[in-house]
Amino acid sequence: MTDDQEKTSRIRRLKEHWYGVAGIRTPGLQEAVLLELEIAVSAYPAMASAHEGESILREELVELQVEVFKKHGQRDVSAMRKEAIQVAAMALRFVMDVCDSGRGQR
């Protein structure tokens, strides 16, 4: 099985598990996070180490922070949602690429 096939299989299993968990079903949210994860997996190579993964995740958090720190009347809720979904997707990718692959020891 190639790396891409393995990642696709892991995303499919993640979807099956996530949708099977009672009480967290929010229409459209899981789909948005998993779509973002699929896009990232197909567009970018795996996180090579824990440090790289943390840097990527921090970058997404900073982008969310920029939206959150805007003045109350200037906040764009859809932009905050988009950035939060990217944070969630990259957190899942960190688990997949770093924690579950053994790269966390690098």
93 is written with which tokens? 């990718």
- 24-59 burial code (b ≥16 CB/10 A, e <16): eeeeeebebbbebbeebbeeeeebeebebbeebbee
Report pLDDT for 22.
45
pTM, entire model: 0.77
Task: Note the pLDDT tens digit of each residue in 31-77.
Answer: 889 999 999 999 999 999 999 999 999 999 999 999 999 998 999 99
| Among candidate residues 82, 94, 8, 7, the one with its CA nearest the CA of residue 56 | 94
Percent with pLDDT over 90 in the chain: 61
